[in-house]
Amino acid sequence: MTLTIVHAEKRTSQSMLKSGTETMASPTEPGGLSPRERPVFVLGCAWRCGSTLLQRVLSSSSDLFVWGENAGMSSLLQEIDDRLAGLSDRSAREWEGFREHGTDAWIACLNPPPFPGALREALRGFYFDYFARAAEQLGRKRWGFKEVRHGVRTAAFLAELFPGSRIVFLLRNPVEVVASMSTMSWYGTEGRAHGVLDTWRRNSESMLEWRDARLLVVRYESLLHDPDGELERIARHVDIPIEDLDPSPLSRRVRGFQGQPVLGVEECRALQRAPIRDLAARLGYDVASDPRVRLRSALPATVYLKARGAILAARRIARQTARWLVRRTAA
């Protein structure tokens, strides 16, 4: 496999990314499209990739509001679209049989005759009603959302629904991703180290093979180290004046109850898997030589993560108990 943004091993990772996006064809000009026809989708390699940070910056625009994650809803809508498309040939045959023989024909699986584009228009209407209308009520002409559960398959689906859309894909060092994720309360829900890194690999590998002018790849590291340059590049891609964006979220940390990012033994072993290590190397991230991934240095962090996990579990039980008591009292 050859990643479209990687052209030569001697080039720096940052120049590879910029080179890849610059060699793509120019995006179709948005002339004639209404603002709601030009959404912005912020997709990420995995959780803790900086998507919320970029969401805050883009939503500071007077014209655009980027909604948050929606549990991968677009993948489910795409599945419905795929299933209906799979019925089209059979529906056409059975509809002809019904027209010829009426109810004496085989009608157990009879569906309406194929109506090209019908579901796509219905799906577009749903996105407009759910996302665009609410953004317009906030005074924003354009809308979008951010999501970390989508690879190229769903990105292409969104691009087909909205030809005037722009997609920004955030890439981050897998070591930093899993270290930051390891202290989050939903870490276990997403499969812990193996689940998070599998998502990182799947999303990164597929998105970076996609050649589409509507896609812009941004490294989280570059966004922090060169905020002015990266924001100018992003603003130009999504067609927003750079002066309309507030860069201050890039200099603020909003950590909440998250602990200090660390790597335990489980995380180090997951990072040392060949598929993760090899893809990271191709993207310019030297996981194999990172001293944080050594098992010996991970032992103290493992104790910390287990203790923190117990604290989070106790907090979760306390919240569940409190909700149960409220319901019991109300009853």
For residue 161, give Cα distances in angstroms to 28, 31, 156, 166: 15, 17, 9, 12
4 domain-assigned: no
**What's the pLDDT score for residue 296?**
67
The widest CA-to-CA distance across the chain, in whole angstroms, is: 75
Burial class for 64, CB neighbours closer than 10 Å (0-12, 13-18, 19+): buried
For residue 3, tell me if it sits in a domain: no
Under 8 Å between Cβ of 238 and 64: yes
Is residue 30 one of the residues assigned to a domain?
A: no
Tens digit of pLDDT for each residue in 107-116?
Answer: 888 888 767 6
Residue with tokens 């979008």: 144
Residue 164 in domain: yes
> Which DSSP state fits 131?
I
pLDDT digits (tens, 9 = 90+) for 85-104: 888 888 888 888 998 998 98
> What token pair was written down for 70?
């929606």
Can you say whether residue 34 is alpha, beta or left, with left for phi > 0 and alpha for psi between -120 and 50 degrees? beta
| pTM of structure | 0.82
Residue at 298 is within a domain: yes
Q: Total domain count for the chain?
A: 1
Q: Which tens digits make up the pLDDT trace of 267-326?
A: 999 999 999 999 999 999 999 999 998 876 666 666 666 666 676 777 778 888 888 888
Give DSSP secondary structure letters for 134-197.
HHHHTT-SEEEEEESS--HHHHHHHHHH-TT-EEEEEE--HHHHHHHHTTSTTTTTTTHHHHHH
CA nearest 140: which of 153, 127, 131?
131
Sign of the alpha-carbon torsion through 137, 141, 147, 151: positive
How much is the pLDDT for 295? Answer: 76
- Between β-strands 40-44 and 64-67, what pairing exists: parallel, antiparallel or unpaired? unpaired
Q: Can you give the pLDDT at residue 257?
A: 53
Q: What is the mean pLDDT of the chain?
A: 86
Domain coverage including residue 76: 13-24+35-330
Mean pLDDT of 232-245: 98
For the ranges 23-37, 96-110, 129-143, 223-237, the lowest mean pLDDT is seen at 23-37
The verdict on residue 5 lying in a domain is no
Is residue 2 domain-resident? no
Smallest CA-to-CA distance from 279 within 181, 191, 206, 330 is with 206
Q: Which two tokens stand for residue 331?
A: 């009853």
Summarised one tens digit per residue, pLDDT across range 125-181 is 999 999 999 999 999 999 999 999 999 999 999 999 999 999 999 999 999 999 999
Q: What is the CATH number of the domain that holds 301?
A: 3.40.50.300
On whether residue 147 sits in a domain, the answer given is yes
| Beta-bridge mates of residue 142 | 64
Confidence of residue 24 (pLDDT cuts 50, 70, 90): very low
